[in-house]
Amino acid sequence: MYANQSVQKVPPSSQASITGEAWGVLAIVTTFWVADGYDTFVLLVTGRPTLAELLRPELGHAFARYLGYLVTITLAGWATGGVLGGVMGDRIGRRRTMILGVALYSVATTASALASSWEWLALARFVTGIGIGAEWGVGTSLLQEVWPEKWRTRGAGLLQAGFSVGGLLVSGLWVVIGSTFGLSWRWMYLFGVVPLVIIVAVYRHIPESTRWTKAQHNAKPFALFATPAVRKNLIAALAVSISITGGWWAVTSFLPTFVGSLAHDPRTAASLAGWAGALYNLGEIVGCIAMGFLAEIWGRRSTTIVYLFGSLLIVPIVFAGLGSAQAVTLAQLVAGFFTGGLYSWYAIHTPELFPTRIRATAISIVFSGARYLAMAGAITAGTLAAALGGFGKVAIWFAPIYLIGIIAMLFLPETRGRGLPD
């Protein structure tokens, strides 16, 4: 296995091919990323009809605030699951932790279809977030530790694009289910059972990381702060993560709902929201894959800064600079490329900043820890939108958050060509 050869100091440049096992890991983990994307976007795309049914009539005017609550609760579960899953992944292995995470969010998403109140849905979303968060860090670590050095960044870009495929799937299904057939939002959550079926079918074929099995497994989470270099990387990476995650959850995550609000007829609103989500995710897929290639040409830091700057520009344009629902919908391609494509940074750069024995813990803290702060952004955005009359007026206040990421990137090392540290 190539990861094993890397431990034996085989030069990364000699690892020119990708094994069948590596392709298998990419296929399996990407499938779960598709499910992650689906389970994340299903609330965002169907939020309006969902809350229209679950909220009491006298609370209907506060729709944006309650959607902000649900997003915040999902983030709380995601952040908690991410940190716990990272620690478990470094202790009991990438494979077992990933299987547990997938099973948990699959059951919780399916249970959301039975919600009789927004509180029930909130509880199900919290558990869904725990499962997604627990699965992310270990899945990324497993892929990076199995793939050969020469192809890791491309594989990471393909992996992260899977999340966007899940969002695209949600959008397409909602156009059919919600707009064409006028069926309930509950049908969308019933598809959450699919990952559970898949995990039962393939769990025997998921390998464990050889890098992990050779590493010492007695590292504690506080070992992250043991050396100045690790501590510096963790703090700077967290700042970049806050920029990416805060910008997305405080503003960009509400794009489908924002587009839907520009229409008056419920079916037209469902159609616009579905198409906006579909185009956004299409742009995100291209952006994620492109980052995997651009990071090898321009370097990790320069590529990420370009994406952050593009996000800084496109967010206020989409929310406040375009006049029609059609123009906003089409602009989702560009918004998806930059604000969504940025998420490949997590899979490409962060694993190269930390050694194997603490990698899952570290990248999970970076990826999921920022969600604790993003919760404040999501709930603030929802509350302000309710008070000011829509998300468009709020977006311009949150767009500068991408400047934080641009500055923080300057404090992270350029890791292109250095290989994955043991």
Residues 6+ apart with CB under 8 A from 21: 1, 146, 207
pTM, two decimal places: 0.80
Q: What is the pLDDT of residues 353-382, one digit of tens each?
A: 998 888 998 998 898 878 777 777 666 766
Distance CA 138, CA 131 (A): 12
What count of Cα atoms within 13 Å lies in the side-chain half-sphere of residue 21?
A: 17
Fold designation for 18-409: Growth Hormone; Chain: A; (1.20.1250)
Which position has the higher pLDDT, 167 or 406? 406
The pLDDT, as a whole number, for residue 378 is: 65
The pLDDT, as a whole number, for residue 9 is: 39
Query: Among positive and negative, which fits the CA dihedral 261, 266, 269, 270?
Result: positive
Instruction: Compute the average pLDDT of residues 294-303.
Output: 96
DSSP letter, residue 199? H
Distance CA 335, CA 368 (A): 22
| Residue 206: C-alpha distances to residues 17, 26, 93, 134 (Å) | 20, 10, 12, 17
Which position has the higher pLDDT, 25 or 420? 25
Per-residue three-class SS string for 363-390: HHHHHHHHHHHHHHHHHHHHHHHHHHCC
pLDDT at 52 over 80: yes
CB 301 within 8 A of CB 307: no
143-160 burial: b if 16+ Cβ within 10 Å, else e: bbbbbbbbbbbbbbbbbb
Structure-block tokens of residue 154: 């491309």
Domain positions in the chain: 18-409
The pLDDT, as a whole number, for residue 257 is: 67
CA-CA-CA-CA torsion for 255, 259, 264, 270, nearest 10 degrees? -80
Cα angle 259, 380, 395; round to 5: 40
DSSP of 57-106: GGGGGGHHHHHHHHHHHHHHHHHHHHHHHHHHHHHH-HHHHHHHHHHHHH
3-state secondary structure of 288: helix
Distance CA 33, CA 39 (A): 10
